[in-house]
Structure 1
């Protein structure tokens, strides 16, 4: 029996290899050799130059980046796929700030406790309503999660209609990493609160560390041409009247009044035991938001498919073009160049177009090359595109995203974030095998990288997507690349030191580009479009 099974396995392996060779033919392998480490270096060098001043949306440096990538796309034979036959999708971006001196208080049993802004409470500015107010009961809803597939619901047997919900950000320790990342996302938390009828969402600071209260940040949102809110990472639902955070001492007061211990509640929540309860408090607040509006741009190009029917469908390769601009001085430098984050990802997309330019027979489906804005402000550009794409959304079959691939060491293994949720894991495995790469699970699941880049915007629209990151495999066999990356990140990530003078392995960058090309090419050539695993959390009903 063992002999028969081994024979069958060998036979299936041979069939699979033949099938792979047919899909990845000599034309494809020859075209892939046109990916160039030297050209990647040149692209990153330009995009991360000081003269672009960190590629901040709305600033001249970002426009220089737009002009550069459009020129490169044209050189590589890509056609425009933006609005009205152009290369760009124009987006109105709004920066909102809460005007200081707002009023807020907690009320219980006729006793009013004033809340001091920047000390006791921090409010997120409303992107649409300049004047906002709320006067509603406060209900603690644990993590604010409703996850039937994981048999967990913080809202069970609670009526929060017309109430403000108090939430601790996190998930039970038993949640799979990508599910955990999705459920603790602020948009997911607010969406679930709204679905249950809540009018406000306030985060509870569960520890004594209240860092950031004295300097509440502005929020950035995107509007359509009529001023309607399209996307926001911090305040996406206009029907919610208040979004904010309470300090740890205030949360301790609320819990003590209910006869509960905050630390004990957190422990029980981590163990997967919901701890929701109705508090004795009402939250009252009135505040104003002020706005600064400006235009920014996504860049979109198209490589036409060859099948009469399937060419109407698209595989989207995305990378964010923006970075954070000029900021605090670190070691004598204030320009946050974003060489790795994400000039390297943009350069990778340009290499994909170079491969397609040299591919004699294009795939059946069309390929859309998308450089998005506002990723650093909360995935705004990709969210805008996924909501209002320049091609029919029903025709977008998959997204392959590239964000800070960390090209700092030889690429020997990869972690395809999100691919395990859909049939995209198959082309990932096939492409990786062709390039001699090992496929691994996310080496840093606690980083929540699955929801921290632009693939998440497509996933929320029901489009299978993935984000290729490095695996742990190293040439010395220690397989601990994450330790090196951790040290590298501490020195370079979101710092002015992330420029072209940092640590780079451009050959690894070339291989990343080849891998992402091949994944997209296999999807574009497959008769069947990718699909979610049956019953998956991200499957759009």
Structure 2
């Protein structure tokens, strides 16, 4: 492996300057739609201009405005459960949580329930938990998780897709139950079920994270969850025991019914994606786009901070560092005497902390032809607190980008390690996943666990992640930031200059699912 090049001090200084600005207290945590985020977006746009990029947003500008809707309650919803011939009025926050709706201000309906096992449907793995069940107009009840035995990223994808499957089957609501005693899995805890809900809503009334037809997203307490199975072939405790001892579960109709009345309050606001373009030099390949992206938003200000307590979620590493290194990669592109053959887009995403919403909006409303986006690298939360010697490229096993990352790393003495925390389902929890769902080969690049990284990551995730401590008081290794930026430049440069566009590997699950007719590369032989 090549000797790792010494970090360029000028690169390190530029990255430090960008992070110090973006993670400043004055930007108040860069919450989506906030004044602090707007300032950060203007800053990134100004840097794009200084670098020499072209604006690639809407109407010839730097921005793509994402229309958000926040739904909340002024009056708590009313729910009544009828089970075993007895109707009980449920108590909000104690017995249930019901998410506000971004699609219907008023909801007044009554529906029955159907248990669907794990609620999975996938042709390749033979899952069809809805077989023989009619869930149209019903509330689906499913157990969290899957039977196991799946690759972690496939498992995470199937779990994150359950509500889309529910809506596609014609059901109107979804309840997910934990595999152990407790309230529902997806919307835990019950007390949080009535928190404000944020989603994008486009001009056609389409929502991003809320599938059309999905009227109810519910959680229930343990006691109420057990009541759903009154008169059923199996009790909830028997189902949980069965889930531990065997794989797949058979579904069945449930006897109780639920009556719902609610009024949602809506607030509309906007927040921009920031998009810059370096146009390619090849007359043919310039029509294709390679994307480098990182999310610009963070969590804002802690609403319940005590007097004198640090209340600002600065997001220095999550993800000011990702955006700063993306900017530096753009500078490296612009500094070269020869432009890349393919065009390269640089995107600072909004709404990642709200559920990958900005990236999802762009993936559904791209400012270039959707088919022209051929590959993507997502820079999210590089933990620049140690001299990293390896990286993890989440998604690398699915496409030729994995080999590109390995080659670029090898040129710098940096190895590529497998996912060190598969239980965290990272592959579906960052912005690149929204482009994977559109058939685009993509990876998420994070600093790795070697050379002391495991301990640093463990401390960061347990004590700093999503806390006000992710600020500039940390001992950030700016030289590592320079090396991370250079690595991403080399990855993107190879993607942009290669004679072959990034391709899914032959037989890959995600490629076959989301881009079945696209080009393929031979899969690497098993080692």
| Farther off after superposition, 191-200 or 32-41 | 32-41
Matched with 1:510 is: 482
Are the structure 2 counterparts of residues 268 and 505 from structure 1 closer, same or farther at C-alpha, using a change threshold of 3 Å? farther
TM-score (norm 1): 0.88
C-alpha distance in structure 2 between counterparts of 1:533 and 1:157, whole Å: 35
2:81 is equivalent to residue 106 of structure 1: yes
> 3-state DSSP class of the match of 1:255?
coil
Q: 1:199 aligns with which of 168, 172, 184?
A: 172
Matched with 1:364 is: 341
Matched with 1:249 is: 223
| Farther off after superposition, 282-291 or 212-221 | 212-221
What do the CA deviations read for 1:488-539 (whole angstroms, capped 9, x no partner)?
A: 2222111111111113222222222112221111111122222223343322
Matched with 1:457 is: 434
Maintained 8 Å contact 2:19/2:320: yes
Maintained 8 Å contact 1:34/1:355: no
Q: 2:311 aligns with which of 334, 356, 366?
A: 334
Matched with 1:527 is: 499
Matched with 2:126 is: 151
Unaligned runs of 5+ residues in structure 1 are 1-16, 21-28, 476-480
Maintained 8 Å contact 1:98/1:124: no
Maintained 8 Å contact 1:305/1:364: yes
Maintained 8 Å contact 1:35/1:351: no
C-alpha distance in structure 1 between counterparts of 2:321 and 2:177, whole Å: 37
Matches within 5 A, 1:466-485: 466-474=443-451, 481-485=453-457
Are the structure 2 counterparts of residues 458 and 418 from structure 1 closer, same or farther at C-alpha, using a change threshold of 3 Å? same
Matched with 1:423 is: 400
Q: 1:492 aligns with which of 457, 460, 464?
A: 464
C-alpha distance in structure 2 between counterparts of 1:175 and 1:263, whole Å: 25
Are the structure 2 counterparts of residues 397 and 391 from structure 1 closer, same or farther at C-alpha, using a change threshold of 3 Å? same
Matched with 2:381 is: 404
C-alpha distance in structure 2 between counterparts of 1:433 and 1:281, whole Å: 60
Residue correspondences, number: 503
Maintained 8 Å contact 1:205/1:246: no
TM-score (norm 2): 0.90
Matched with 1:212 is: 189
2:221 is equivalent to residue 221 of structure 1: no
Shift of 1:462: 1.2
Are the structure 2 counterparts of residues 256 and 435 from structure 1 closer, same or farther at C-alpha, using a change threshold of 3 Å? farther
Maintained 8 Å contact 1:205/1:247: no
2:147 is equivalent to residue 172 of structure 1: yes
Maintained 8 Å contact 1:405/1:469: yes
Shift of 1:304: 0.8
C-alpha distance in structure 2 between counterparts of 1:40 and 1:420, whole Å: 30
